[in-house]
Amino acid sequence: MEQGLILLAEACPTVPPEALTEIPIGRRDALILSLRERTFGPWIVGLATCLGCGEQMELTISVANILHGQEGNSSLPMALDLLGYEVRFCLPCSRDLFAAVATGSPEAAYHCLIEKSVLIAYHKKQRVSAHDLPADVIEAMAESMLKSDPQADVQLEIICSSCGHKFQQTFDIISFFWKEIDSRARRTLREVDHLARAYGWSEAEILSLSSWRRQCYLDILNFKRANK
Ligand SMILES: [Zn+2]
């Protein structure tokens, strides 16, 4: 989860760290998805395993298809009036998620998130706490949150090309982007290692080359090796 804040800080370099933790989850994910697009381009290639036949397939997704508009942008409170309960609540942010995870159990985390999201609640004009809200009201709150912040839960609709089975898969931009950065970093280190051994250049000298020039030298080395 810390990874989310690290990527968010990169996406919003002028926003102070404390303010980053208050950005609603869907807005956070939209900002990170835009950063991903600027870094690696508009296409995302991933793998999915069919829940019907177990076949692994490659998925190509356009960032534009999963990037929602400005929903979830607002930290303004939402209101719900149901079964005699009036509730004002807000979308959860990273700070709320940290608190929820720290509770240590899914049950406690769920209640913690509800508690953090509820700003004020009344039952028949009497002030009540988040604990007193019935399950139906909490469920309606959760639905309303999801509707106003769809970026917080991106579901991919997948049809298996082998068996035709249709299923949904959650797309988590943070873990996906993190893995991409990690594998790019490892690849760059391998490139530095090859070039340093072949030409005797320092790491700083190699990293100061554009990726295009670095690739040209690597192609020359590969050509030489293939024609030995
Ligand atoms: Zn299948």
**49 close to 160: Cβ distance less than 8 angstroms:** no
Closest CA to 109 of 91, 84, 92, 128: 92
Question: What is the C-alpha to C-alpha distance for residues 70 and 4, in angstroms, rounded to an integer?
Answer: 19
Res 226: pLDDT: 86
Res 76: pLDDT: 78
Question: What is the C-alpha to C-alpha distance for residues 10 and 20, in angstroms, rounded to an integer?
Answer: 11
User: How far, in Å, is the centroid of ligand 1 from the Cα of 43?
Assistant: 23
User: How far, in Å, is the centroid of ligand 1 from the Cα of 45?
Assistant: 19
User: How far, in Å, is the centroid of ligand 1 from the Cα of 213?
Assistant: 43
User: How far, in Å, is the centroid of ligand 1 from the Cα of 190?
Assistant: 36
- pLDDT (tens, 9 = 90+) of the chain, 228 residues, equals 689 999 999 999 999 988 999 999 999 999 999 999 999 999 999 899 999 999 999 999 999 999 987 555 566 789 999 999 999 999 999 999 999 999 989 889 988 999 999 999 999 999 999 999 999 999 999 899 888 888 988 999 999 999 999 999 999 999 999 999 999 899 999 999 999 999 999 999 999 998 889 999 999 998 888 887
Res 74: pLDDT: 62
User: How far, in Å, is the centroid of ligand 1 from the Cα of 162?
Assistant: 5
User: How far, in Å, is the centroid of ligand 1 from the Cα of 160?
Assistant: 5
User: How far, in Å, is the centroid of ligand 1 from the Cα of 168?
Assistant: 12
Res 172: pLDDT: 93
